[in-house]
Amino acid sequence: MPVVVRGAGLAVGGLARVTLTILWQVSRVPDCLAVCGELFPGLPKSETTTMTFPYVSKEISWLHFNARVLQEAADPQVPLMERLKFLGIFSSNLDEFFRVRVATLHRLVKIRKKAIDLIGQDPVDLLDQIQQLVLHQSRQFETLFDELCGQLAASGVLLRRENELSPAQQAFVLDYFHQQVRPFLVPLMLNRKTAPLVKDHQIYLAVVLGRGGGEPDYALIQIPADRVSRFLLLPAAPGQTEIILLDDIIRLALADIFCYFDYDCFAAYTVKLTRDSELDMDDERFKTFPQKIQDGLARRKTGKPVRFVYDRSMPEAFLQRLRKVLHITNVETCIPGGRYHNFKDFMAFPQLPLQQAQYPPFSPQPHPQLLPGRSIIDQIRERDLLCFFPYQRFAHFIDLLREAAIDPRVTTIRLTAYRLARNSQIVNALVNAAQNGKKVFVVMELQARFDEEANLYWSDRLREDGVEVVHGLPDLKVHAKLCLITRHEGRKKVRYAAIGTGNFNEGTARLYTDHLLLTADPRLTGEVHRVFELFANKYRIPLFRHLVVSPFQARNKFRRLIQNEIRQAQAGKPSFIDIKLNNLSDPEMVRLLYRASAAGVRIRLIVRSMFSLVPQLAGLSDNIEAISIVDRFLEHSRFFIFANGGKPVYFIASGDWLPRNFDRRVEVATPIYAPQLQQQLRDCFDLQWQDNCKARLWDEGLTNRFRPRGANEAPVRSQMAFIARYAAPAAEPPQDQGGCA
Q: CA-to-CA distance for 100 and 201, rounded, in angstroms?
A: 13
The DSSP code for 102 is I
Burial (0-12, 13-18, 19+ Cβ within 10 Å), 708? exposed
Angle between helices 289-300 and 452-464 (to 10 degrees): 150
What is the spatial distance between Cα 401 and Cα 379, in angstroms, rounded to a whole number?
14
**β-pairing, 241-245 with 157-160?**
parallel
Reported residue count of the chain is 741
Residue 693, C-beta contacts closer than 8 angstroms, at least 6 positions apart: 706, 709, 715, 716, 717, 738, 739, 740, 741
Judge whether 705 is annotated as a binding position: no
- CB distance 681 to 637 below 8 Å: no
Residue 22 and residue 112 in contact, taking contact as beta carbons nearer than 8 Å: no
First-to-last C-alpha distance (Å) of the chain:
32
- DSSP structure class, residue 227: T
User: Is 488 a residue of the active site?
Assistant: no
Is 93 annotated for ligand binding?
yes
Say whether 321 counts as a known binding-site residue: no
SS3 526: helix
Task: Give every strand in the sheet of 157-160, ordered side by side.
Answer: 157-160, 241-245, 231-234
Whether residue 461 is annotated as binding a ligand: the answer is: no
Contacts of 685 (CB under 8 A, 6+ apart): 578, 580, 604, 606, 639, 641
Compute the Cα dihedral for 372, 376, 381, 384 and give only its sign.
positive
Decide: residue 560, CB within 10 A, 0-12 exposed, 13-18 middle, 19+ buried.
exposed
DSSP symbol at 121: S
Q: Which of 465, 413, 464 is nearest to 443 (CA)?
A: 413
Residues 367, 479, 515, 529: which is the catalytic one? 479
- H/E element, 175: helix 167-176
Q: Are 582 and 607 in contact (CB under 8 A)?
A: yes
> What is the Rg, in whole angstroms, of the alpha carbon atoms belonging to the chain?
28
Q: Report the DSSP beta bridge partners of residue 640.
A: 579, 651
Question: What are the φ and ψ backbone dihedral angles of 460, each rounded to 5 degrees?
Answer: -65, -45
What b/e string do you get for 16-47 counting C-beta neighbours within 10 Å, with b at 16 or more? bbbbbbbeeebeebeebbbbbbebbeebeebe
Is 449 annotated in some ligand binding site?
Answer: yes
- Pairing mode of beta strands 602-607, 576-581: parallel
Question: Any known ligand binding at 636?
Answer: yes
| Residues with Cβ within 8 Å of residue 330, at least 6 apart in sequence | none
Instruction: Report d(CA 637, CA 449) in Å as an integer.
Output: 20
Query: What single letter denotes the amino acid at residue 491?
Result: R
For β-strands 482-489 and 492-500, DSSP reports them as antiparallel
Q: Are 174 and 256 in contact (CB under 8 A)?
A: yes
Q: Which residues are catalytic?
A: 479
Binding-site entries for Mg(2+):
419, 449
The annotation places the binding site at 93, 419, 449, 512, 608, 636
Q: Cite the annotated binding site for ATP by residue number.
A: 93, 512, 608, 636
